[in-house]
Chain A
Amino acid sequence: TQLLEQSPQFLSIQEGENLTVYCNSSSVFSSLQWYRQEPGEGPVLLVTVVTGGEVKKLKRLTFQFGDARKDSSLHITAAQPGDTGLYLCAGGTNAGKSTFGDGTTLTVKP
């Protein structure tokens, strides 16, 4: 079983602060995705990264895939209350299955 460990598990910050959450594994993944989930809803895709060392930016969110394709990070600049939610990383393999991390619960206080 390929495991994805996310850290921190919980994060509570003030509006305007920056933050980084991490997704780490001892396994290599062919792709890595980040999802955001709001209470009572299913996860929604934020980004997919496929190349080692790849960096993608989505407005105030910056995603990075590690060179060895075993880890990833999500950095949020100037967090807003609307960023509050559960952030999940998911690793994909050529075998056709995906593995989800346990998530980081982010709370941004006004």
Chain B
Amino acid sequence: NAGVTQTPKFQVLKTGQSMTLQCAQDMNHNSMYWYRQDPGMGLRLIYYSASEGTTDKGEVPNGYNVSRLNKREFSLRLESAAPSQTSVYFCASRLPHRGLNTEAFFGQGTRLTVV
């Protein structure tokens, strides 16, 4: 059971470089999310996608863009990386969207360092 798969697991970028974090889920979930987790803090929502073809901003969207490529895949792009974006990034999915009574399944995270 793959669940939610994120790539890469680790990445070091120089300031100003760009990269895309990939996320795929095989559970046929409608909703997908990108979070960042900084030391001593919980998860902060960057962007989410309630269903294929839709995306919305979360709490901390600045400096990021997303693409919901199809129902399975939701990517996060950093156009010009900054040291403040050093963090652990988690992708999650759940079904259904409204009410949020359902379980969110998380990937193992991408540890990004921007130098």
Q: How many A-B residue pairs have CB under 8 A?
A: 69
Asked if A102 and B103 sit within 8 Å, CB to CB, the answer is no
**Chain B hits for A48, CB < 8 A:** 101-103
* Residues of chain A within 8 A of B107, CB atoms compared: 42
CA distance A44 to B34 in the complex (A): 16
Most chain-A Cβ atoms within 10 A of its Cβ — which of B58, B59, B100, B103? B100
CB proximity of B26 to chain A, nearest CB, Å: 15
Bound-state CA distance A99–B33 (Å) is 12
Interface pair B98/A43, CB less than 8 Å apart = no
| Chain B residues bordering chain A, tally (CB within 8 A) | 26
User: A93, B42: Cβ atoms under 8 Å?
Assistant: no
| Complex contact A92–B99 (CB within 8 A) | yes
Counting chain A CB atoms within 10 Å of each CB, which of B48, B59, B102, B104 scores highest?
B104
Contact with B along A72-110 (1 / 0, CB 8 A): 000000000000000010101110111111110000000
When distances are taken between beta carbons in the complex, the residues of chain A under 8 Å from B44 are: 100
Chain B residues near A102 (CB, 8 Å)? 40-42
B35 contacts across to A, CB distance below 8 A:
100
B104–A31 touching, CB < 8 Å: no
Q: Is B45 an interface residue (CB 8 A)?
A: yes
| Nearest B residue to A102, CB-CB | B42
Docked-complex contact B109 and A42, CB < 8 angstroms: yes
B43 on interface, CB distance cutoff 8 Å: yes
A41: which B residues are within 8 A, CB to CB?
108-109
Once the chains bind, are B100 and A42 in contact (CB under 8 Å)?
Answer: no
Closest to A44 in B: B106
Q: Given A40-B108, A44-B106, A102-B42, 8 other A-B contacts at CB below 8 A?
A: A4-B42, A30-B101, A33-B104, A43-B104, A43-B106, A90-B43, A100-B44, A102-B40
Nearest 7 CB-CB pairings of A with B: A92-B100, A42-B106, A100-B42, A100-B43, A102-B42, A45-B103, A31-B101
